[in-house]
Structure 1
Amino acid sequence: MNGDIRAGVIDVHAHWLPRDLLALPPGNPLGGMNDRDGELFLGESPLSFPTAAMTDVDTIVADTRKAGLGARVISAPPFAFPVHAPAAADDYVASFNEQLADAVSRTDGTLVGLGMVRLDDVDAARRELTRLAAAEGIAGVAVPPVACGRSYDRDAPREVLGVAAALGLSVLVHPMQLPRAEWDHHYLVNLIGNPVESTTAVAAVLLGGVLEELPDLRICFVHGGGCAPSLLGRWGHGWRSRDDVRRGSARPPADSFTLLYFDTITHDPEVLRLLRAHASPDRIVCGSDYPFDMAQPDPVGFLLDHGIDAATLEANGRRFLGLKPADAS
């Protein structure tokens, strides 16, 4: 990443979208986002936070400092990922990335950007990733866990990770709340769907040998990696027992798990404890999911109360973003 950021704990998982892109990319089935008297809606559904918290950089900076954070990493909300008609979304993607670079450049290191990229076309992705790598204040990209029925163990999504790694860009994997009929009530599309999507991508990376091919890839899974920490033993058993599980990777999934980054939005100290039991201590980073209603309301306090110190969180956040340690910058 070009440039540096303010000292302090870094929240790697927060969202921003400029007002002129609230309509969402072509092909999106959700009806677009819209402002109603200062509150943000997705289609006809209220999102339960002020529009300014998603769209106004000054508001986000003020909320970042109020939360006791040194810096916050902003990326598009998952509804804005260009997955429904990606070939028609180039202008939307380029506009988001250009406005993101401009927005973070005006915050004196308080905000860092993660851009947007297509996952269906490696050449189109390479062009956009190359521009992002040259932009001030941009550390990488945010991507969905699955796209076009694929995750990161094969086809274009895997190749896009290779391009990001070669350019030194960080990758944040964020679920999209993909609809399923059995999840159409109780907000299960989020409460179950989000963790399951993330878990699918973690499994694809581990069992697909992605980190064996791309040892320099910095990739982070939000919401504590979904269900992955609780399934790691099952995956390891399958890897030892079945040729079809073992075929894509030369080392047990638990070994590669320690090379992944995870944010800390678990909503449960015991789940955080489980994550810490399996993940490397230098790969656990602070996350909030600001400004959504499922956000961790006090991301720093939650972690300090449960045994992760601020210096470690800052160092881990800087490492994920590809920045020098604070005392060396």
Structure 2
Amino acid sequence: MIDVHAHWLPADLFALPPGAPYGPLQDRGGELHLGEVPLSIAPAAMSDVSAIRADMAAAGIEVRVLSAPPFAFPVGGPAPEYVAAFNAALADVVAGSDGAFRGLGLVDLDSTDSASATLAALADAAGIAGVAVPPVLGGTSFDRGVLRHVLGEAARLGLSVLVHPMQLPRPEWDHHYLPNLVGNPVETATAVAALLLGGVKDELPDLRLCVVHGGGCTPGLLGRWDHGWRTRPDVRQDSTRPPGDVVRELWFDTVTHDPDLLALLTTRVGKGAVVCGSDYPFDMAQADPLGFATSTGLDAAALAANARAFLGEP
């Protein structure tokens, strides 16, 4: 089984990139904290390769695709040194894994030029399949700005793109972990809407893009989006096909925490668009990713084949 959604960050990068909205990561009595927010995980779970391998063995995961945790995304301004350090460390970990790991690197998001340079370097790195990016950046998403440029370059270079929310804070979500419980699904659905209604997939037919956490709110909103697309010219002005058709050309992971929601996702996007994910090592992870996925009727071999397709592997 291939797990496309798992996180890793070397301990010497726990300070996070300049301008990070939460940081830094700190070890407080054996528990990682993101700023003042407890993460309910040990530092080794985030940084220690042996801990990751042990979890893989226990979960029946043969290949794990590692990406940075979203709070390490360079969204606060220029961070070329941090991005380069992470990508170099990731390439080394993948190279030493005997095939157990694949990597999704970071991309500099400060400008289109810096993004292009980072992506070109990643395209030449062995074992690096693509990049992980946030769904929103500076009030924009994938239909314009730097994020749209990243998608175009990734498609041109044959790099896969994993979309992971950042649980950005809002005043009305300052309690009960709502930036995660509500914010993550909303951020994610915002990005999917930008992709589908913005005509991005039509413009980039070769783009390989996976949305984690089952697409967030997307499965429950597709019917509404289709209705809006059929009835309102402003909704369909940038796209030629209804969202419910285009969505089948993306991939979505299985981290939904709800068998009924995973079944709805599979119905809406098709079994060929679903890949196994875990969200390791967070407390919001799917503890038994393979068991959860197969319990809803998904086939392990098909999930692995879908993951290889997303990664651009034969």
Which TM-score band (shorter chain)?
A: over 0.9
- 1:210 matched to which residue of 2? 200
Query: Would you say 1:84 and 2:80 are equivalent positions?
Result: no
Alignment of 1:1-329 (within 5 A): 9-85=1-77, 87=78, 89-324=79-314
- 1:4 matched to which residue of 2? none
How far has the Cα of 1:244 moved from its partner?
1.0
Mapped partners of 1:280, 1:258: distance in 2: 6
> Is the CA contact 1:286–1:299 (under 8 Å) kept in the aligned structure 2?
yes
TM-score (ref. length: structure 1): 0.94
Mapped partners of 1:56, 1:138: distance in 2: 19
Higher mean C-alpha deviation, range 213-222 or range 119-128: 119-128
Mapped partners of 1:206, 1:258: distance in 2: 10
Give structure 2 stretches of 5+ with no counterpart.
Answer: none
Mapped partners of 1:43, 1:203: distance in 2: 31
> Is the CA contact 2:152–2:204 (under 8 Å) kept in the aligned structure 1?
yes
Mapped partners of 1:261, 1:314: distance in 2: 12
Runs of 4+ in structure 1 deviating by more than 3 angstroms, as ranges, are none
Mapped partners of 1:133, 1:18: distance in 2: 22
Q: Which amino acid aligns with 1:60?
A: I
Mapped partners of 1:315, 1:169: distance in 2: 17
Mapped partners of 1:118, 1:249: distance in 2: 28
Mapped partners of 1:203, 1:137: distance in 2: 31
TM-score (ref. length: structure 2): 0.98
How far has the Cα of 1:280 moved from its partner?
2.5
How far has the Cα of 1:35 moved from its partner?
1.8
Mapped partners of 1:237, 1:29: distance in 2: 36
Please report the RMSD computed on the Cα atoms of aligned residues, expressed in angstroms.
Answer: 1.0
- Say which SS state the counterpart of residue 292 (structure 1) adopts: coil
How far has the Cα of 1:52 moved from its partner?
0.7
> Is the CA contact 2:229–2:235 (under 8 Å) kept in the aligned structure 1?
yes
Please give the per-residue CA displacement for 1:86-123, whole angstroms capped at 9, x wherever unaligned. x2x11101111111101111111111110001234111
How far has the Cα of 1:292 moved from its partner?
0.2
How far has the Cα of 1:133 moved from its partner?
1.0
Give structure 1 stretches of 5+ with no counterpart.
Answer: 1-8, 325-329
Please give the per-residue CA displacement for 1:268-322, whole angstroms capped at 9, x wherever unaligned. 1110111011112111000110000000010000111110111111101111111
> Is the CA contact 2:271–2:298 (under 8 Å) kept in the aligned structure 1?
no
Mapped partners of 1:57, 1:113: distance in 2: 13
Mapped partners of 1:178, 1:59: distance in 2: 28
> Is the CA contact 1:112–1:137 (under 8 Å) kept in the aligned structure 2?
yes
- Say which SS state the counterpart of residue 40 (structure 1) adopts: strand
Please give the per-residue CA displacement for 1:192-215, whole angstroms capped at 9, x wherever unaligned. 000000000000000001110000
- Say which SS state the counterpart of residue 249 (structure 2) adopts: coil
Among all aligned residue pairs of Structure 1 and Structure 2, give the percentage whose two residues are the same amino acid.
Answer: 64
